[in-house]
């Protein structure tokens, strides 16, 4: 099979973890006889240095001509956020990409690995977060004014029926293939947007009599994710709540660096990215965790290309690496820290497993 993929490594640790994901992809290509045409493009601060913009037309053109997009991360140091290179970097790159291509639904699986030890000690967590991507305060009107000598800021949260419906159908469809439970997260006791969210989720649930729907306020959900994560199957969340809660839930997998995600549009195009961010403080040190980026490859193989066996092999490679003790520092316990490996060493080991060499 021949497929074209836009590679947008971005900033910070993005290029480092992307290099390991490409290794896994090349391993699948060689093992199964596929042909993956990789088209590298610039985004974020890296694009600003070359083109003077965070999502240049050159990158947009490449993304418009491929079968899938593999994205790394964007953004620079907090201390440099006022620099032109980094100012509004995320808003002008990944948010623009989501809006331009209509990536309305984000899917982020979160699962624990028995071979990983971490402070909370969960033995089995397997949940799927469905996050709406094109509504909420991210795309509402943002204002910073001075009124009567006092600085006043406002950010508009906006949702319409159509965007909520799209996300809800995605959640219920996913739940049918899992444990048939959807938890819809809102703040309906305060927000009008959340009251509409709850109404639409309830209406959509009528088309899925075999799937149980529960509504949960976001503050309670934040507590239950830590207290009783195994009670969740599919979480349906608005944009901002989903952004926060999925980062919180990353501790259940051991690290934010473990989480992949898929953003899909109605035309079938997908963007796949890890959830870890650019982490500029550790960039270039060889300690970044590439697992989230590699698992994003697995999601791309499955969702965009229908390569289910290939996706399974990538996921099994991650599990086998963890089982034999390979760790980047973020997932190494205090006892295992002396066994920690570099980003590249972990990527090399996964490539061997994908190629059935180890």
Beta-strand ranges (E) seen in 96-211 are 105-111, 126-132, 142-147, 150-155, 181-186
C-alpha to C-alpha distance for 159 and 199, rounded to whole angstroms: 12
| Residue 51 falls in the annotated catalytic set | no
Q: Which of 67, 113, 138, 233 is catalytic?
A: 138
Q: Which of 51, 126, 243, 358 is catalytic?
A: 243
| Residue 113 falls in the annotated catalytic set | no
Tokens of 256: 């934010």
| Residue 187 falls in the annotated catalytic set | yes
C-alpha to C-alpha distance for 192 and 302, rounded to whole angstroms: 37
Q: Which of 187, 320, 352, 358 is catalytic?
A: 187
| Residue 138 falls in the annotated catalytic set | yes
Tokens of 176: 């049918």
Q: Which of 247, 336, 352, 358 is catalytic?
A: 247
C-alpha to C-alpha distance for 328 and 202, rounded to whole angstroms: 43
C-alpha to C-alpha distance for 200 and 165, rounded to whole angstroms: 6
DSSP secondary structure string for all residues of 283-347 = TTTT----HHHHHHHHHHHHHTT--HHHHHHHHHHHHHHHHTT-B-GGG--TTTGGGB--HHHHH
Q: Which of 173, 219, 281, 285 is catalytic?
A: 219
| Residue 219 falls in the annotated catalytic set | yes
| Residues recognised as catalytic | 138, 187, 219, 243, 247
């Amino acid at each position: 099979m021949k497929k074209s993929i836009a590679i947008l490594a971005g900033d910070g640790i993005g290029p480092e973890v992307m290099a390991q994901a490409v290794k896994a992809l090349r391993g699948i290509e060689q093992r199964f006889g596929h042909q993956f045409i990789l088209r590298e493009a610039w985004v974020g601060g890296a694009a600003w240095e070359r083109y003077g913009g965070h999502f240049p037309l050159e990158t947009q053109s490449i993304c418009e001509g491929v079968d899938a997009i593999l994205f790394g991360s964007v953004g620079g140091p907090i201390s440099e956020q006022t620099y032109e290179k980094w100012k509004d970097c995320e808003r002008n790159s990944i948010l623009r990409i989501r809006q331009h291509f209509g990536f309305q639904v984000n899917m982020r699986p979160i699962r624990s690995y028995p071979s990983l030890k971490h402070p909370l000690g969960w033995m089995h967590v397997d949940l799927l977060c469905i996050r709406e991507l094109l509504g909420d305060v991210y795309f509402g009107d943002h204002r910073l004014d001075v009124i009567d000598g006092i600085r006043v800021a406002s950010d508009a949260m906006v949702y319409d029926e159509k965007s909520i419906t799209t996300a809800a159908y995605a959640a219920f469809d996913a739940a049918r293939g899992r444990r048939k439970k959807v938890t819809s997260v809102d703040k309906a006791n305060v927000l009008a947007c959340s009251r509409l969210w709850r109404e639409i989720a309830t209406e959509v649930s009528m088309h899925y009599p075999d799937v149980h729907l529960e509504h949960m306020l976001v503050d309670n959900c934040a507590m239950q994710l830590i207290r009783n994560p195994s009670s969740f199957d599919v979480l349906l969340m608005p944009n901002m709540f989903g952004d926060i809660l999925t980062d919180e839930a990353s501790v259940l997998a051991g690290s934010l660096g473990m989480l992949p995600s898929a953003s899909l549009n109605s035309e079938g195009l997908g963007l796949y990215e890890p959830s870890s961010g650019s982490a500029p403080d550790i960039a270039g040190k060889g300690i970044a965790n590439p697992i989230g980026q590699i698992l994003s490859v697995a999601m791309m193989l499955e969702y965009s290309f229908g390569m289910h066996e290939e996706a399974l092999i990538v996921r099994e490679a991650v599990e086998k690496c963890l089982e034999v003790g390979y760790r980047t520092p973020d997932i190494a316990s205090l006892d295992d820290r002396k066994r920690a490996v570099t980003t590249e060493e972990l990527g090399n080991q996964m490539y061997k497993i994908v190629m059935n060499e180890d």
